[in-house]
Amino acid sequence: MGYDAADRPAYGAGAGVGLAFVKHYFPAARLVVRIATAYFTLRGYKLGRDFVQDSAQLRILVGRSEEGSAYEAVVDEILTELGNARPTCYRQCLT
């Protein structure tokens, strides 16, 4: 993980880097957080949502260049995760 001159996370790769950025930057968001990512999971969305103020929107741009359709890939991923979830988890993911 690399930091800028103000000791804020600036770049990184590997396990835990994404969560470090979420914890540092998401709570300060007032209106919108925009994320561009190659992969999407409901668990990741829920985690990010927990760090964003209720008034802020979490907008995610998903793209997988190796897939024929990113939209279809995201829908498939969501359906797979919901299909594997327990009923309590399913309701929590949707709220």
Sheet strands (E) in the chain = 2-3, 9-11, 32-37, 57-62
Report the interhelical angle of 70-83 vs 42-49 (nearest 10°): 80
pLDDT score recorded for residue 83:
72
Confidence of residue 85 (pLDDT cuts 50, 70, 90): low
Of 18 and 87, more confident: 18
The distance of Cα 66 from the centroid of its chain, to the nearest Å, equals 20
The distance of Cα 20 from the centroid of its chain, to the nearest Å, equals 12
Quote the CA–CA distance of 39 and 61 in Å, as a whole number. Answer: 9
pLDDT score recorded for residue 80:
79
pTM of the predicted structure, to 2 decimals: 0.61
Quote the CA–CA distance of 82 and 32 in Å, as a whole number. Answer: 26
pLDDT score recorded for residue 36:
82
